[in-house]
Structure formats: C-alpha cells, structure tokens
Amino acid sequence: MALLAGMLLIFMLSISSSVAVQTATAQLTSTVRSSLQQVNLVDGAFVTTDGFSFYQNGVSILIYSEAESLLAGQIPVGFTEIEPFENGTTRRVEAGSVRYLILDLWRPIGWEDGFWIRGLIEVADGSQTISPLLRIALVSLPVFMLLAILGSYGLVRRAFRPLENIIATAQSINEARDLSLRIGLPPGRDEFSRLADTFDQLFARLEQSFEAEKQFTADASHELRTPVSIIKGACEYAEKYDESPEDRQETISMIHRQADRMAVLITQLLSMTRLEQRTEIIRMTEVDLPELVRSLCQEQGWDQHRLHLSLPDTLPVRADSTLLSRLLRNLVENAFKYSGPDSPIWIRVARNEKEVLLSVEDRGIGIRQDQQEKVWQRFYQVDQSRGVEQDGTGLGLSIVQQIAAIHGGYMTLESVLGKGSCFCLHLPMEP
Ligand code: ADP
C-alpha cells in the first residue's frame, strides 16, 4: 500500500508540474501576442491603447528598444538575469530559486525601426508544489497505513472466524470422538460456508459409516453366535460319544448346513452394509426389464411349471442390472420358500403414467397385517411357528428395500394370511 501510495504521489506530482508549465506557456503566449496589438511607436513616442496593463494574467510585459534598453514595464523583483532576446521562442530561465518562462516578440516599424516586447511569467517550482503535498502525504500516509492495518486485521479476523469454528469442531470430534458434532454455519455462498457445509457432510458420512460398522460388528457377532455354538456343540458331542456312522453323517450334515448359513449371513450382511454406506459400485445403465426377468428365470433353475410370467415385449429402465437381479431373486426365492410345493407364482412387469412396476405374487402362507411393516427390518423373521423351515437370515427384504431406494423407487406389500403375498417394486420413470 505504501509503495502504491508513493507511486501515485510521484505520478500526480509529475503530472501537476507538467500541467503547470503548459498552462503558463499558453498564458504567456496569448498575453504577449495580445499585448503586441496594444502597443506602438508613433514618431519615436511610445503609445499604448487605453486600459493596457503591463501586468496581465500573471504575465509581466516589458518593452525594449532595438538597442535592448528598457522603455516601459517593470522587471519582476527577483528577476536579475540578463537574458539575450530571441524572437518567438519560449524559454525557461532560472532566477535564483524562481523559474520563469520568457517569450520575446520583435515588433518591426517601417524598414529600420522596431521594438521588443518581452513577457515573463513565474512558473511554480516543482519543489514548491511537491513540498506541501509531500508534507501532507508524510503525515497522512502513516495514519492511513495504521488505519488500514488495523482495519484489515479486524476484517481478516472476522472473515477467518468460521475457519476457527471448523478447526474447533474438528478438534472436539477428534478429542471427544463424538461424530455427531457439526459446525453448523448458516448457509451462505462464500467459500467458508461451503467448506463448513462440505465438512458437515463429511462428518455425517463418517458418522454413518462408523454407525454401519458398529451395526455390522454387533449384527455379525450376534447372528453368528448361534450357528457357531451349534457347530461347537455338535463337534464336542461327536468327540465325546462314539456315534454310529449314520449319526456321524447326520452331525456332519448339520455342521455343513450351519456353515452354509454362516456363509450366507456374512455375504448378506456385507452386501447390506455396502448398500447402506453406498460403497457398492453402482452402474446405472439402460436395462430391458422383461428381458432381465426372462433370463434370470432361465438361469436360476426355478421350477418353471410354477412360474407364470406376464411381461411386455420390452420395457427399458435405468437401473443396475446386478442389483435388480438380486432384488428379483430374493423376492422369487421367498415366494418359493413361503408357499406350497405346487402353488403358482406370478412375476409381472407393467407400467402406468409415472412408474414401472415389477411384482412377485404367490399363493403361499401370507403375512399377518400387523407384521407386514416389520418384514422390511433387518433380521426380522415372522414367527417361527408357521410350519416353514426357517433357514433364512431375515436380511433379504432389507436388501430388497435398499436396492429399491438406490433406484429412487420403493416397495409395497399386499398380503393376506393363509392366502398369499404380492411384493411390488415401484420404479419412477426417470430415476
Ligand atoms: P428370510 O431370509 O427370513 O426370508 P426376508 O427378509 O427375506 O428374510 O424375509 C423376512 C420375513 O418375511 C421372512 O422371515 C418371512 O417370514 C416373511 N416373508 C418374506 N417373504 C414372504 C412371502 N412371500 N410370503 C410369506 N412370508 C414372507
């Protein structure tokens, strides 16, 4: 700032002194020329027009004879120089500390006679202009600098206060390990508000991810405890007692089943945690829904006699085909699991003005009204006394709901106990 102010001062000074010289030159030239018209020599006598003044517009007018002796006018007090005459040229002359501009004009009279008319104007010296300005600048500049420093310090402190908030929140999160803390700056368009908002989102995501991890650990340890203790018990029993080959085979099959169950549980848990945390890579492409249903029915080796498809020729949707296949597989496998050996299952694809619908309907055991909300919860299994072997995990429908949400859709369930159930995926036309 000081440098800029100094440069500005120098610039202004140089401009002002050159403007002063130009103005003085213009004034001198016009005054001397107009004076030339107003003075004359008549029969050796020097005459002026009425009202002629030897000092006009700051210009002293002097009249000299051909022999360069002063005829009329008053030489300015400070001007002691002897300056030779030069017709028509404006010059600068330093007389002591004062600077003058001089212009001489020769006024011929007849063939031999004539006189000189000389104009003198004092030009304000550069230093004269500079010194008061410089004095003002020298006094005011430090004051302005001080004000500017104090002002900008205050401004910067104010502007950086949100950053202090961000640091303080980050520190308390780190120290207290409390991920529920937020910076909570009021929304704004400046960088700090955006930074704080981004940090808050980051903290929310971190919290979500820690929660999911906590949940996963709790779920895994809780759910795996049962099959592990069954396996352990079976092994101990087999070690302790001499079992017949049939019993031994039975024990091995049981261990196998429990190990399978653990594998399914771990896969489903991982899958759900990834879906919840959105860490599963999702590839949205255009998928032909009826085609996806047809090929899945062929690949899965489901009982084709029980399956009834009601599909349009084609109906493209934007979806992740792997996730959508997983959703359909879960629904159809449940339909097989929870309905009689010969009962039919319908898979339908349809659309209305706003949604694409994919439904799986069975004539199975159905779900009681008060339990229909709960089946979407993780690990929820409708009471075990329904005659169906409960080898599920209770995670399938949670995963189904997650997948629907990822596609911007939702699930509905219609079911009547003892009659059957219909699970339906609603996908928006533009997910
Ligand atoms: P599971 O692995 O136990 O099948 P799900 O999350 O897929 O877990 O289902 C949760 C519960 O909802 C099941 O335990 C079952 O009681 C009930 N359920 C799911 N699908 C059906 C269906 N088609 N008919 C009747 N009950 C069902």
Q: Report the atom number in ligand 1 closest to the C-alpha of 386.
A: 16
Nearest CA to ligand 1 atom 23: 335
**pLDDT (0 to 100) of residue 387:** 57
Residue 129: pLDDT band (50, 70, 90) is low
Q: What is the pLDDT of residues 266-281, one digit of tens each?
A: 888 888 888 887 777 8
**pLDDT (0 to 100) of residue 128:** 60
- How large is the average pLDDT for residues 33-58? 85
Residue 310 CA to ligand 1 center (angstroms) comes to 23
Nearest CA to ligand 1 atom 4: 392
Residue 375 CA to ligand 1 center (angstroms) comes to 7
Structure tokens of 192?
Answer: 């700090």
Q: In the chain, pLDDT over 70 holds for what percent of residues?
A: 96
Which one, of 258, 252, 251, lies nearest residue 225 by Cα?
A: 258
The pTM (predicted TM-score) of the whole model is: 0.58
Distances (CA, A) of 385 to 28, 156, 182, 289, 309: 121, 70, 47, 36, 31
Ligand 1 pocket test: which of 326, 372, 381 has the largest number of ligand atoms within 8 Å of its C-beta?
Answer: 381
Residue 339 CA to ligand 1 center (angstroms) comes to 11
Do the beta carbons of residue 85 and residue 96 sit within 8 Å? no
Q: What is the pLDDT of residues 165-209, one digit of tens each?
A: 888 888 888 887 778 888 887 777 788 888 888 888 888 888 888
Nearest CA to ligand 1 atom 2: 392
Ligand 1 pocket test: which of 262, 327, 334 has the largest number of ligand atoms within 8 Å of its C-beta?
Answer: 334
Q: Report the atom number in ligand 1 closest to the C-alpha of 339.
A: 24
Pocket of ligand 1 (CB under 6 A): 330, 334-335, 338, 362, 364-367, 375, 380-382, 392-397, 421
Q: What is the 3-state secondary structure (H, E, C) of the chain?
A: CHHHHHHHHHHHHHHHHHHHHHHHHHHHHHHHHHHHHHEEEECCEEEECCCCCCEECCEEEEEEECCCCEEECCCCCCCCCCCCCCECCEEEEEECCEEEEEEEEEEEECCCEEEEEEEEEEECCHHHHHHHHHHHHHHHHHHHHHHHHHHHHHHHHHHHHHHHHHHHHHHHHHHHCCCCCCCCCCCCCCHHHHHHHHHHHHHHHHHHHHHHHHHHHHHHHHHHHHHHHHHHHHHHHHHHCCCCHHHHHHHHHHHHHHHHHHHHHHHHHHHHHHHHHCCCCCCCEEEEHHHHHHHHHHHCCCCCCCEEEECCCCCEEEECHHHHHHHHHHHHHHHHHCCCCCCCEEEEEEECCCEEEEEEEECCCCCCHHHCCHHHCCCCCCCCCCCCCCCCCCCHHHHHHHHHHHCCCEEEEEEECCCEEEEEEEEECCC
- How large is the average pLDDT for residues 274-302? 90
Nearest CA to ligand 1 atom 13: 381
Residue 391 CA to ligand 1 center (angstroms) comes to 10
Give the whole-angstrom CA distance, residue 423 versus residue 431.
20
pLDDT for residue 225 is more than 90: no
- How large is the average pLDDT for residues 344-367? 96
Q: What is the pLDDT of residues 375-407, one digit of tens each?
A: 999 888 887 545 555 577 888 999 999 999 999
Do the beta carbons of residue 60 and residue 107 sit within 8 Å? no
Q: Report the atom number in ligand 1 closest to the C-alpha of 330.
A: 7
Where is average pLDDT lowest: 226-235, 287-296, 360-369?
Answer: 226-235
Residue 151 CA to ligand 1 center (angstroms) comes to 69
Nearest CA to ligand 1 atom 20: 334
How many Å is the maximal CA-CA distance in the chain? 164
**pLDDT (0 to 100) of residue 384:** 56
- How large is the average pLDDT for residues 319-347? 95
Nearest CA to ligand 1 atom 14: 381
- How large is the average pLDDT for residues 3-10? 80
Residue 215 CA to ligand 1 center (angstroms) comes to 21
Residue 366: pLDDT band (50, 70, 90) is very high
